[in-house]
Amino acid sequence: MAGRLAAGLAARRRAGGGPVAIVSCDNLPGNGELTRRLVEEQAQAAGLRLADARYVTTMVDRITPYPSQEDTGLVAAATGRADAAPVVTEPYSEWVLCGDFPAGRPRWEDAGARFVTDAAPYEERKLWLLNGGHSLLAYAGSLRGHTTVAEAVADPACRGWLAQWWAEASRHLSFPEAELAAYRQALLDRFANPRIRHTLAKIAEDGPRKLPVRILPVLRAERARGALPAGAVRVLAAWLLHQHEPVPPVREPAAGPLREAARTALAGLDPALADDTGLIDAIVAETRSLLP
């Protein structure tokens, strides 16, 4: 795709076209800057001269689980058409955009889009509260026998764990507390939606890729202020148990095998964490409370 964008911008330059905005809709933090870098790398490799372009960063906040066979059947029954990839989503939506539009743009704000000078705080709020909450439920909720987000969030223990994690993460978000409280309440309602069948097993996939952006920034910030954040520790302990089947012995006093498993797992997320003995001790202790 970056190559096609580079070719298109080169053709625009040859045709005498003016500046244009490239709006990235990839579900990645900093997607505008990433798109710019990839397009310019492609152009440099191919010796292309590009038209002037501004790269707009976007953030979308909307839960869209992977479609199931049931979803395909419902769409076929309702429309009479076979859709191999129906998109089922929730009523809630938020679209945040940050960047310049030198040739003008549609009035997307009339449909609810939000234009901001910095998309990073919105990315962090979504990654830490929504996605981090999902990871917590995926690993810890599944240990309690739940299979979907809606089932897990109906469990008082899981809701308490969510509240603890959200309190930790919210300390490091740059929004007024009233706005964060409203967002957290909305998340509880969104997670509890029974029509959105979001499976914990799917959310639990790719932990080593997801946890560094969903959990570790808050963990590092809490450790920097001398705290051992119980919510973050719980996510990592539950993930560790999810990684290891059968689970290394945890009942003996030293819990040596589990301690070594925790150190190895943390090193895979961030080598610096493997030397944090206080964190490792806390994770080992938390595994004992998570297991029946």
CATH value at residue 102: 3.40.50.720
Which residue segment(s) compose the domain that 60 sits in? 2-115
Average confidence (pLDDT) over 207-235: 97
138 and 22 in a common domain: no
Question: What pLDDT does 100 receive?
Answer: 96
- Above pLDDT 90, what percent of the chain? 80
Instruction: Give the C-alpha separation, 43 to 21, whole Å.
Output: 17
Q: Is it the case that residue 261 has pLDDT exceeding 50?
A: yes
* CB-CB contact of 198 with 150 (8 Å): yes
**What is the mean pLDDT of the segment spanning 60-87?**
88
- Round to whole Å and give the CA distance between 65 and 78: 20
pLDDT at 255: 61
Longest dimension (CA), the chain: 74
Q: Are 240 and 265 in contact (CB under 8 A)?
A: yes
CA atoms of 165 and 135, how far apart (whole Å): 11
Q: How many domains does the chain have?
A: 2
Beta-carbon count within 10 A of 128 CB: 23
148 and 202 together in one domain? yes
Residue 17 sits in the same domain as residue 77: yes
Whether residues 161 and 179 fall in one domain: yes
Q: What pLDDT does residue 259 have?
A: 87
User: Do 102 and 129 share a domain, yes or no?
Assistant: no
Q: What spatial distance separates the first Cα and last Cα of the chain, rounded to whole Å?
A: 49
**The predicted structure's pLDDT at residue 246:** 54
Other CB atoms within 10 A of residue 209 CB: 10
* Claim to verify: residue 180 and residue 282 sit in the same structural domain: yes
The residue from 115, 149, 175 where one domain ends is 115
Which residues are CB-neighbours of 119 under 8 A, at least 6 positions away?
57, 58, 59, 96, 97, 98
DSSP state of 227: -
Q: Are residues 250 and 172 in the same domain?
A: yes
Q: Using pLDDT thresholds of 50, 70 and 90, give the confidence band for residue 253.
A: very low
Computed over every residue of the chain, the mean pLDDT equals: 93
CATH of the domain at 129: 1.10.1040.10
Mean pLDDT of all residues in 246-264 = 68
Provide the token pair at 42.
Answer: 């492609």
Kindly report, residue by residue over 38-50, the tens digit of the pLDDT: 999 999 999 999 9
What tens digit of pLDDT does each residue of 93-117 get? 999 999 999 999 999 999 999 999 9
pTM value is 0.91
Residues 75 and 152 in one domain: no
* Average confidence (pLDDT) over 271-278: 94
Tokens representing 93 are: 């939506």
45: buried, middle or exposed (CB in 10 Å: 19+, 13-18, 0-12)?
Answer: exposed
Helix (H, G, I), strand (E, B) or coil at 60: strand
The answer to whether residue 35 scores a pLDDT higher than 60 is yes
Domain C-terminal end among 80, 115, 150: 115
pLDDT, tens digit (0-9, with 9 covering 90-100), for 141-174: 999 999 999 999 999 999 999 999 999 999 999 9
Confidence bin at 245 (pLDDT 50/70/90): low
Could you tell me if 262 and 136 lie in one domain? yes
Read off the pLDDT of residues 2-28 as tens digits, 9 standing for 90 and up.
Answer: 999 999 999 999 999 999 999 999 888
In this prediction, residue 71 carries a pLDDT of 83
Q: Last residue of some domain: 94, 115, 136?
A: 115
Same domain, yes or no: 240 and 267: yes
Helix, strand, coil shares, percent, the chain, to 5: 60, 10, 35
Same domain, 19 and 78: yes
Degrees to nearest 5, angle at CA 126 with 122 and 129:
125
Q: What is the mean pLDDT of residues 182-186?
A: 97
* pLDDT tens sequence across 187-217: 999 999 998 989 999 999 999 999 999 999 9
Residues 154 and 90 in one domain: no
